[in-house]
Amino acid sequence: MGFKYLKDAVTLKLDTDKCIGCGMCEIVCPHSVFLIKNNIAVLTDRDKCMECGACSMNCPVSAITVRKGVGCAYAVLMGMFKEDGCGGGPSCGGSGCC
């Protein structure tokens, strides 16, 4: 049973020139987006990425970039209506979601 969200929406980028094949991305990704092939990371299915940011956070050579965020419509909507001064960007908390 495959859960897949929208096509071509995510910001995930992998710079294979920088990759040293340590395999951390493969370990931390909760959706198996990375695979180590011939000592280098490759993307299996980019659309499965949920932009949690675990890969870029744990890549020791900064070969991965992704705009990290929470895929929560409630938070995005609250962010749209409350252009607050708390640093912006959608976030959870309060008595809302997650």
Partner 1 sequence: MDILGAWKTRWGIGRMTYTINPGLYSVGCPDQYSPVLVTSNYKLTVDKVRKNLSGRNLWVLVLDTKGINVWCAAGKGTFGTEELIARIDQEGLKEKVVHRELILPQLGATGVSAHEIKKRSGFKVEYGPVRAENIPYFLDNGKRLNPSMREVSFPLFDRLVLTPVEIVIAMDLMLRVFGVMAILSALGILPVERADYLGLIGAVITGTFLSPLLLPWIPGRAFSFKGMLTGLIWAVSYILFLYSKGYTGSLQLFSYLLILPSLSAFFSMNFTGSSTYTSLSGVEKEIKTALPIILAALVAGILTRIISLF
Indicate the pairing of strand 40-43 with strand 34-37: antiparallel
Residues contributing to the site for partner 1 (CB under 8 A): 1-7, 9-11, 24, 27-32, 48-54, 57-58, 60, 67-77, 80, 90-93, 95-98
Residue 24 to residue 3: CA distance in whole angstroms: 23
Shortest distance in whole angstroms from residue 42 CB to partner 1: 15
Nearer to partner 1, 3 or 17 (CB): 3
Shortest distance in whole angstroms from residue 12 CB to partner 1: 9
Shortest distance in whole angstroms from residue 9 CB to partner 1: 4
Shortest distance in whole angstroms from residue 38 CB to partner 1: 19
Residue 95 to residue 58: CA distance in whole angstroms: 30
3-state SS record for 62-74: CCEECCCCCCCHH
SS3 92: coil
Residue with tokens 């991305």: 25
Nearer to partner 1, 40 or 69 (CB): 69
